[in-house]
Amino acid sequence: DGGITQSPKYLFRKEGQNVTLSCEQNLNHDAMYWYRQDPGQGLRLIYYSQIVNDFQKGDIAEGYSVSREKKESFPLTVTSAQKNPTAFYLCASTIEGVGYTEAFFGQGTRLTVV
Bridging pattern class, strands 10-13 and 109-113:
parallel
From CA 54, how far away is CA 74, in angstroms rounded? 11
Quick note: the x/- pattern for other proteins over 19-48, rule CB under 8 A, is ------------x-x-x----xxxxxx--x
Closest approach of other proteins to the CB of residue 10, in Å:
11
- Asked if 77 and 65 count as a contact pair (C-beta separation under 8 A), the reply is yes
Query: Rule CB under 8 A: which residues touch other proteins?
Result: 31, 33, 35, 40-45, 48, 50, 56, 58, 88, 90, 92, 94, 96-97, 99-108, 110
